[in-house]
Structure 1
Amino acid sequence: MFEARRDLTGRVSDEDARRGNPWLAWARHSAHRLGEARGWPRKTRLNVDQALVIVLTGHAEGDVIRYSEVFPVLRSRGLSVERTTEVLDHIGVFLNDRPSSFELWLESKLDGLATGIARDVGDWARLLHDGGPRSRARHAATVWNYFNRIRPVLLEWSDRYDHLREVTRDDVLAHLETVQGSQRQTTIIALRSLFGWAKKNGTIFKNPTSRIRVGQREEGVIQPLEPGHIDGSVAAVTHPADRLILALAAVHAARPAAIRRLQLDDVDIGNRRLSIDGRTRPMDELTLQVARKWLEFRRRRWPDTANPHLLINKHTALGTGPIGKSSVAGPTLHRQTATLERLRIDRQLEEALVHGPDPLHLAEVFGLSEKTAIRYANSARALLEQAAENSTSHSEKELGPDCGALKNDGHADSTGLA
């Protein structure tokens, strides 16, 4: 009638666990093969073996081992949860019943909304995050940004209404009057997405955001970093991996996600070539030096690792996955003005300033979209024009008032050019 959860807290001797337990024997054999393939050190192998004895004692055909069962037991004894569950999953007895971080976040954000509104908003947010038959999944940051922007007005409407179908056009316009600039634009886009989904799925009768214009956002001129800010970031990083990450962002304008995806085969030291997201480029002297130092450190620190990624740490060295997002530009650079993102932007702007504000060139070198390449080109053009104006004004001050008179005199100017 119901499924009982197993108690794994009891201590079992290794001798008792060995008797007539084919699942433990299979798991130990699988752990041995995984350890050899992944380069697990002896300490990790003994750790996993002890954990398998605890988890698989009394295991029978058809039993399922859940993450929620093994985590508290193994964590309390200092045993590796990640490596143990990897072995359990390999032999087909593991069930990962952890709620996703997105669902936990969404549940906290839906708290306080009216029941009818929360139901529709939750379904809309999940569709954005997971995608559907006719809609692509959005980046998690996009979903967070949309939801956080409209949550205040959803809470306000929840005090008056029970469903989104009760929200009117005047309600939307009244809220838009309270926000300005980019906040107003993001709010309109998010509300249009929400109500457009609700109208399509028949949960509302009329879209209150229809014919409300989003407007064109005015992009400001991208400003270059000061040399002192760049020097501060260079001095702040000392670990070989961090120095390589800094070089990839500052010299090659690589995004953090692209840096995490880099494989060992993407770095050709002999031919001084580097491949980032399928785009091969020459490797400069600086990148070559920091890459060599990192590879030497990697070889000494984890000589037996089977992880094919260029950048690894003590956690990923035992597996085959990439390093986490927090491992790329950790707290050291977050405290600097020249963060990885700022350094990447500055590198693309520098290319536009040095080689001319040509969007096609920028798109070819960095793989930028048309809109992004045009923005960098426009910023570079504005900076070059500003520098030319400042240079002209400085020259006029040095030459004195006669320079201005000559410049304003069309006849004298044309004669001088002739």
Structure 2
Amino acid sequence: MRREQQAPDHRKNIRTLITIMYWLGAESAVSEPDVHDLAQLDPNLAAKPVCQFLRARGLLVDDPDLHRDADLTAIEAALATLPQPAASEVRARVDVLRSQGRREGEFRGWDGIRRYLDYLQPVLTVWAATGVTTLREITQQQVEDAVKNLSGHARRQLAIVLRSLFRSLKGQRVIFCDPAQNLPVGALKGVSQSVPSDLLAGLLDHAATPLGRLTVALAAVLAVPGSDIRTILTADVDLARGTLEIRRGLLRHTLYLEEFTHRQAAEWLTFRHRRWPASTNPHLLVSQKTALDPDRPAVSTATLRGVLPKGVTLDGLRQDRILNKAFESADPLKLMRLFGITERAAMRYVSAAHPERTARLPR
């Protein structure tokens, strides 16, 4: 293995393994925390691949605390900084996002909930510093003050988070009044602007790899959200029938592959099989790091962003595709069936594409 694996990452693994075996010997199992502690001493040492190597050979004593979800750990740490009962109220919102509330809701992963709390945490900290112990005490003025000094994307995201938080807590009967009910989202009314045509024209030229071309096709043609692109499984793609199944919690949405996306999916699967024939990762999209990782993780968001030119995002491509379809058809039901979006989202796209049809008549 040492002769065959001379890449920098493999040299780090070998150096770590040699150090451990020199000091601890190879006659007994190695404690997993010892490997991680050693790797923290030098950037030229590695922990995770060495632990996987030792675990596969029965030479590692696992530590359950090291295998806890990092996003879950961060969420619990953030909630621990809040006073009671505010912490319990925010946890009720987290339970709803995990579909554990009083009513069945949208299932969201721990990574999405962590991003949700990243926007919310500074506001909750400020409120706690002013003596607020429960979200029932929050007034409409306090909510408006929280977004007053923000602008652009930051203001819009925080406004969306605050509105969803208080709306959910009211639906769960945790609070009585919704102070964020009339909070304006911001300058963006409904949907983003269209992606410039010159950027769209150069997408495939910029995406020089099969992974990049399939990612562009999924976002720009099928309008699949970036979070869903990462979690698509290989078993969800049926080239014979020309279908792609998107998993959203307990829900399933079937997309039909047109010729271009079908060809990109076939080319990617062929490339993946030839490049990593021994990969057991169930995800459709894999990278050099995730293809052979025994933990079988999803590809990172940064990898997907890297296939796009500057100024283009996956969400922007998706919104542009839905908006163009809304220009062709003012039927929100068609948008809902085609892209699997909600009724409210479909109406926003129709309103943006055909304001003359949805404008309120003067009294």
2:347 pairs with 1:382: no
- Residue equivalent to 2:219: 249
Please say if residues 150 and 191 of structure 1, whose CA atoms lie closer than 8 Å, have aligned partners that are also in contact.
no
Q: Which residue, out of 345, 364, 382, partners 2:319? A: 345
The runs of 5 or more residues in structure 1 that have no matched partner are 1-34, 36-40, 112-116, 201-206, 387-418
CA-CA distance at 1:94 after TM superposition: 0.9
Q: What percent of counterpart residues are identical? A: 24
Cα distance 1:234–1:285, how it changes in 2: closer, same or farther (>3 A)? Answer: same
2:35 pairs with 1:70: yes
Superposition pairs for residues 82-161 of structure 1, below 5 Å? 82-86=48-52, 93-98=61-66, 100-104=70-74, 107=77, 117-129=82-94, 134=101, 140-141=111-112, 144-145=115-116, 148-149=119-120, 151-152=122-123, 154-155=125-126, 157-158=128-129, 161=131
Between the aligned partners of 1:196 and 1:369, the Cα distance in structure 2 is: 19
Structure of higher CA gyration radius: 1
Between the aligned partners of 2:171 and 2:122, the Cα distance in structure 1 is: 17
Between the aligned partners of 2:318 and 2:358, the Cα distance in structure 1 is: 23
Superposition pairs for residues 200-219 of structure 1, below 5 Å? 210=177, 212=179, 214-215=181-182, 219=189
CA-CA distance at 1:351 after TM superposition: 2.1
Cα distance 1:118–1:382, how it changes in 2: closer, same or farther (>3 A)? Answer: same
Instruction: Letter of the 2:281 partner, please give it.
Output: N
- Residue equivalent to 2:194: 224
Cα distance 1:353–1:106, how it changes in 2: closer, same or farther (>3 A)? Answer: same
Cα distance 1:213–1:175, how it changes in 2: closer, same or farther (>3 A)? Answer: closer
Count of residue pairs the alignment pairs up: 323
Instruction: Letter of the 1:71 partner, please give it.
Output: H
Instruction: Letter of the 1:227 partner, please give it.
Output: S
Between the aligned partners of 1:365 and 1:252, the Cα distance in structure 2 is: 9
Between the aligned partners of 2:357 and 2:199, the Cα distance in structure 1 is: 21
Between the aligned partners of 1:51 and 1:196, the Cα distance in structure 2 is: 57
Normalized per residue, which structure has more helix?
Answer: 1
The C-alpha deviation readout for 1:188-211, integer Å capped at 9, x for no partner, is: 6546777999x96xxxxxx6x736
Please say if residues 326 and 353 of structure 2, whose CA atoms lie closer than 8 Å, have aligned partners that are also in contact.
yes
State the secondary structure of the residue aligned to 2:221: helix
2:342 pairs with 1:373: no
Between the aligned partners of 1:173 and 1:216, the Cα distance in structure 2 is: 8
Q: Which residue, out of 203, 207, 218, partners 1:237? A: 207
Please say if residues 253 and 348 of structure 1, whose CA atoms lie closer than 8 Å, have aligned partners that are also in contact.
yes
Superposition pairs for residues 271-290 of structure 1, below 5 Å? 271=240, 273-277=242-246, 278-290=252-264
Between the aligned partners of 2:207 and 2:25, the Cα distance in structure 1 is: 45
Q: Which residue, out of 256, 260, 277, partners 2:230? A: 260
Please say if residues 254 and 344 of structure 1, whose CA atoms lie closer than 8 Å, have aligned partners that are also in contact.
yes
State the secondary structure of the residue aligned to 2:243: strand
Cα distance 1:261–1:151, how it changes in 2: closer, same or farther (>3 A)? Answer: closer
Between the aligned partners of 1:249 and 1:363, the Cα distance in structure 2 is: 16
The C-alpha deviation readout for 1:111-166, integer Å capped at 9, x for no partner, is: 6xxxxx5454444445544659645775554564456346346436525x3x616x
Compute the TM-score of the two structures, normalised by the length of structure 1.
0.60
Between the aligned partners of 1:282 and 1:104, the Cα distance in structure 2 is: 38
Instruction: Letter of the 2:177 partner, please give it.
Output: S
Between the aligned partners of 2:269 and 2:28, the Cα distance in structure 1 is: 43
CA-CA distance at 1:312 after TM superposition: 1.4
Instruction: Letter of the 2:133 partner, please give it.
Output: L
- When the two chains are superposed, the root-mean-square deviation of aligned CA atoms in Å is 4.5
Between the aligned partners of 1:259 and 1:185, the Cα distance in structure 2 is: 23
State the secondary structure of the residue aligned to 2:349: helix
Between the aligned partners of 1:127 and 1:334, the Cα distance in structure 2 is: 39
Please say if residues 233 and 339 of structure 1, whose CA atoms lie closer than 8 Å, have aligned partners that are also in contact.
no
Greater CA drift, 339-348 or 82-91: 82-91
The runs of 5 or more residues in structure 2 that have no matched partner are 149-154, 247-251
2:308 pairs with 1:333: yes
CA-CA distance at 1:255 after TM superposition: 1.8
CA-CA distance at 1:245 after TM superposition: 0.5
CA-CA distance at 1:289 after TM superposition: 3.5
